[in-house]
Amino acid sequence: MIKFTNVFKAFPKGGLALKDVSFHIAKGEFAFLTGHSGAGKSTVLKLVYAEERPTSGAVRVSGFTVAEMRRKDVPMLRRRLGIVFQDFRLLEDRTAEENVAFALEVTGARRSTTPARVMRVLTQVGLAAKAKAYPRELSGGEQQRVAIARALVNEPTVLLADEPTGDLDERATRGVFQLLRDINASGTAVVMATHDLDLVRQAPYRVIELQEGALVYDSAVDESRGQAVTP
Amino acid sequence: MNLVIREALLAFRRAPLLSSLSVTTIAFSLFVVGLFGLVAVNLQRALREVAERVEIVAYLLPGTPIETITLAEKDIEAFPEVQAATYVSEDSALARARAELVEFRDVLQELERNPLPASVEVKLKPAYRDVQHVNEVAERLQGFGFVDDVRFGRDWVEHLDRLRQIAAAVGLVVGAAFAVVAIIIIGTTIRMAVLQRSREIAIMRLVGATDGFIRRPFLLQGAIKGMLGGLAAIGLSYGAYALINRWLIHAAFFSTEQAVAIVGFGMLIGFFGSAASVGRHLRRV
């Protein structure tokens, strides 16, 4: 599904962002990506959705090899992924349902089925009643739910979430996290970058920890050997 | 409604201020081009009117039989450069001189013998009213045995030629400069519209929009803005033309084709300006 093999990523001015990172996330898995800010979590996610390319090593995502992808294949990869950010990235001048429908429209999906599919995901995230609301009329948690609905509407195999609860209060955080767990329970793999360790401790999911660009802990590998770096 | 059209039109509703600013900028840029165009059009018209008077006169030897002249007239009219050849007999030459040269009326009245020769007046087609062609035709006329002398205002035709060259050069250089300035201003305006929506473009790319999908509404929007700006520029030019006509000189306005060309120019700049801006933006994100 997602496979990093000896991945290095250097930025022209930023030095080495990732150093020899290898891991494999299987279909339907839920994995936390943890570490301090600047540890390389976002870089890992950017490599997954082909916003960046590895300097060396291989990144493979659901059949695509990121380093060799042509520019025009990138949208095809992204349609198989759902991406959620800390800052929601909603279009301010469109309603919740328009924001979600937009993700369907860009893929050229059949227009006759759009309203039903949009309503279904909005119901799934618990926002069916606020379909006509604009982002500014919604709370942070609600905006993030719209973003998640948008990520889900194309039925992705993986949901990438970059600090999805970073800007949310505790209550909204719990709600969004529960939603991600529900989504995972229905078969979608979830990769969630976060530095919220309380959240990480709450659930029995895999944890991959990065420190200054290096992978220092992977519960799937290290726990079997009984040497956890981070509890 | 088609998605591309919907997205293109939505942009006008979402950013009405920036959109109308773009259209206004395009309108005034093209208005400057249009004003220059009006000057060029009128200058050209004036030159054409002057060129109307380019004429070659072949004076005939006395006693040339009228049949020969009639045949020759047909020959001359068959020259590719010639629009019309008109025979002027001695008598009608004298009659014309009497009518036109009022100061010499007395002298002309007292003549015992008509001193004026018969002639064939040759008018060239508009495209051939220049020194080179006038010379060629004059030489060919000289070849007729019954032609005594061929006259045309050589200096005058040369001056006219020179004037035409200057007008063409100035028109080309200044016109091109104005057009380039318009292209730069319009391109910058459109770039602003693209940058204003860079966040939206980034989001579109994240959810899997292809470059073509992102680009198309911008291209359509650019073309619409260019068209609206072009139409407004024609309106402004017409206003200027009406004022000039009323208070200054009698001038000509654009032909329909020229007006369409200005609007088309606006559309093209809008379209390609958008293509360049979005393309550059997409390559960076």
> Using CA atoms, how far apart are residues A137 and A134, in angstroms rounded to an integer?
5
Contact B211 A49 (CB under 8 A): no
Contact A150 B204 (CB under 8 A): no
Residues of A in contact with B199 (CB under 8 A): 89
Does the global pTM surpass 0.90?
no
pLDDT band at A207 (very low <50, low <70, confident <90, very high): very high
Instruction: Tokens for B197, please give them.
Output: 């929506």
- Can you give the pLDDT at residue A225? 56
Residues of A in contact with B204 (CB under 8 A): 102, 106
- Can you give the pLDDT at residue B1? 56
- Can you give the pLDDT at residue B244? 83
pLDDT in tens, B249-266: 777 788 888 889 889 988
- Can you give the pLDDT at residue B14? 77
pLDDT in tens, B106-159: 776 777 777 788 888 888 888 888 888 888 888 887 887 777 888 887 777 778
For an interface test with A, give the residue of B206, B211, B283 to mutate (most A CBs within 10 A): B206
Instruction: Tokens for B203, please give them.
Output: 């989001």
> Using CA atoms, how far apart are residues B80 and B40, in angstroms rounded to an integer?
29
> Using CA atoms, how far apart are residues B138 and B122, in angstroms rounded to an integer?
9
pLDDT in tens, B188-218: 887 887 888 888 888 988 989 898 888 888 8
- Bridge-based pairing state of the strands A30-34 and A189-193: parallel
Sheet holding B119-124, edge to edge: B82-88, B119-124, B55-60, B147-151
CA atoms within 13 Å, Cβ hemisphere of B245: 11
Average pLDDT estimate for A51-57: 93
How many inter-chain contacts (A to B, CB under 8 Å) are there?
45
Instruction: Identify the closest residue of chain A to B7 by CA–CA distance.
Output: A102
Name which of B202, B207, B210 is nearest A102 (Cβ-Cβ).
Answer: B207
Of B34, B13, B29, residue with least CA distance to B261: B34
Residues of A in contact with B206 (CB under 8 A): 49, 78, 83, 89
A111, pLDDT greater than 60: yes
Q: Are B280 and B215 in contact (CB under 8 A)?
A: no
Residue A164 CB contacts under 8 Å (≥ 6 apart), including other chains: A84, A85, A86, A144, A147, A148, A176, A180, A192, A194
Q: Are A27 and A80 in contact (CB under 8 A)?
A: no
Average pLDDT estimate for A163-173: 92
Q: A42-46, A173-177, B9-13, B241-245: which has the minimum mean pLDDT?
A: B9-13
Contact B210 A150 (CB under 8 A): no
Residues of B in contact with A79 (CB under 8 A): 207-208
Contact B208 A93 (CB under 8 A): no
Q: Are B230 and B262 in contact (CB under 8 A)?
A: yes
- Can you give the pLDDT at residue A224? 63
Contact B205 A75 (CB under 8 A): yes
Nearest-Cα distance to chain B for A64, in Å, is: 15
- Can you give the pLDDT at residue A41? 93
> Using CA atoms, how far apart are residues B60 and B90, in angstroms rounded to an integer?
10
> Using CA atoms, how far apart are residues B28 and B21, in angstroms rounded to an integer?
11
| Rounded percentage of chain B residues whose pLDDT exceeds 70 | 99
Residue whose token pair is 């150093």: A19
Task: Give Cα A125 distance to the centre of its chain.
Answer: 16
pLDDT in tens, A60-83: 998 899 999 998 899 999 999 999
Residues of B in contact with A156 (CB under 8 A): none
| Per-residue burial over B91-119, b = 16 or more CB atoms within 10 Å of its CB, e = otherwise | eebeeebeeeeeeeeeebeeeeebebbbb
Contact B206 A102 (CB under 8 A): no
Q: In chain B, positions 66-125, which contact chain A (CB-CB < 8 Å)?
A: none
pLDDT band at B285 (very low <50, low <70, confident <90, very high): low
Rounded mean pLDDT of chain A? 91
Contact A75 B209 (CB under 8 A): yes
| Rounded percentage of chain B residues whose pLDDT exceeds 90 | 6
Quick one: B264 exposed, middle or buried, by C-beta within 10 A (0-12, 13-18, 19+)? middle
